[in-house]
Structure 1
Amino acid sequence: MYKSVIIGTGPAGLTAAIYLARANLEPLIIEGPEPGGQLTTTTEVENFPGFPDGIMGPELMDNMRKQAERFGAEFRTGWVTNVDFSKRPFRISIEGHEDIIAETIVVSTGASAKYLGIPGERENVGRGVSTCATCDGFFFRNKKIIVVGGGDSAMEEAHFLTRFASEVVVVNRRSELRASKIMQDRARQNPKISWSLDRNPLEVLTNDRGVTGLKVRNNLTNEDEVIETDGIFIAIGHTPNTKFLDGQLPVDEQGYLLVTPGTTETTIPGVFACGDVQDHKYRQAISAAGTGCMAALDAERFLDAVEHQTVAIVG
């Protein structure tokens, strides 16, 4: 029996682990085969407070993990295959391990960026390919960059990136954009944004220094073209990592977990959600860490309330 179990080890889960461990609740953190969240796929992080010279993403996550371990947090590696929220204590099934029983659960499994699935894409994340404009836009000052996508997120990222880039080219597979009219109008009125529509991305082109271009197919002429660029931002959405919950917690229209505003409480008492799995707006390491702190405090107060109720009944 664990007082608290945290599922996920990004900034949210590790911050929750630090707080719960310091409260002597000896939390168990379940990490997948690729622990650390999206920051482990980034290079230098310059916008996390406390690191004036920046820090490498994997190093930041490793430091947070060591900090949690220092206070007594326990880690276990494996995929969570099933959870049972029908009654407390809750039951968690982990591939290759015995089931775990927990009085409270913090879900911090994050959201995974959607990728195009083309050659040269995944292997160049952090070397010119990015899925986060606010994270990496600063590195492309006065450079030409591409934003792939046609929705509101793509328009927002393209507009934001014009603060740094000399030119932003929006590449979309169709001639029409899915973005709302107000977002389209805002992007079209920006003189730094140009358009390459009806182009289907085929391959990320690189040299020994990084990204050099995006190979696309012109859907109107069926000819291949190369758009030269210094960086490519993939903005086709994110998928919250909630499949293992099997619909036991309500989600919004985009699939993100719903929490009571101002808290990390889900509709099931004792189950809390933090980080990108419940945040489709900010999606930053620091905001995820903040909700991880909130989840730990919410879980601690929940356990205190349950303990006091038990004492009162016994008394």
Structure 2
Amino acid sequence: MQNIKQDGDWTLEIYPKSSLFNLNLKELWRYRDLLILFVRRDFVSVYKQTVLGPIWFILQPIITSIMQLLIFNNVAKIPVDGMPPMLFYLSGNLMWQYFAGSLTLTSNTFRSNAGIFGKVYFPRLIMPMSLIISQLLKLVVQFCLFMAIWCYFYFAKESEFHLEPNVYILTVPLLIFIMAGLAFGAGMIISSLTTKYRDFTFLLTFAVQLMMYGTVVIYPLSFVPAEYQKFILANPMTPIIEAFRYAFTGTGTFSWNYLLYSSLIMVVLVSVGTVVFTKVEKSFMDTV
């Protein structure tokens, strides 16, 4: 005879969500071990079969910053507000690459993990969260590089540059949190759209490249004519990068109002992205 479990004996019950706002966030905590495994997988697998391995985490921002220094500072003669040019470009790349990398990876969540999603159950939100956290670990490594170069210029006795770090350094975790939220929310929205419209995958590549030029990565905000600064500040990443530079160098701008604006955009994107992502996960296997 078969032993049939009675009602109440089950350890796990899976049922469809009846509401867009039934996110069941408590379930994410129950699957925290799986989240840690995904974070480790995402972090380790990136450069696992490369010759230099994790050294690429450091080489990537250095090479990018050197190229920008040669082209935009030496050739185009774009000023850097009196900061050490290498430090200026490295600070911009540090923040932008975290945002762009998190956005790009998160936007491919459904397409990249369709095989896993179709075979086993777990809270789907864990996947984009793991990508954001694994990119954060990469940011920590690159931030150590930034601090090493910052210390060199700060303690150099004969340096022509004068850095003035200030109390706003304490806001760096907040800046990273806002960036993570922006990438997380926007990535989930785009990922949901790409299940039906693959065009968004190609558009995102161009959009990220164009957005960089609309952000203060390769030029300071002061370089932009006053009548056009409002358009640059409309990009929620601009106040974040400006605040980061100001915290460590004392040069640039720091505005709580614009950071509040970036935070509001982040809250809207995360809220909309989470709802849309949760809705699409029910049926995406039919279209992906």
TM range, smaller chain: under 0.3
Relative to the length of structure 2, the TM-score reads 0.22
Higher helix residue share: 2
Identify the structure with bigger relative contact order (alpha carbons < 8 Å, sequence gap 6+).
Answer: 2
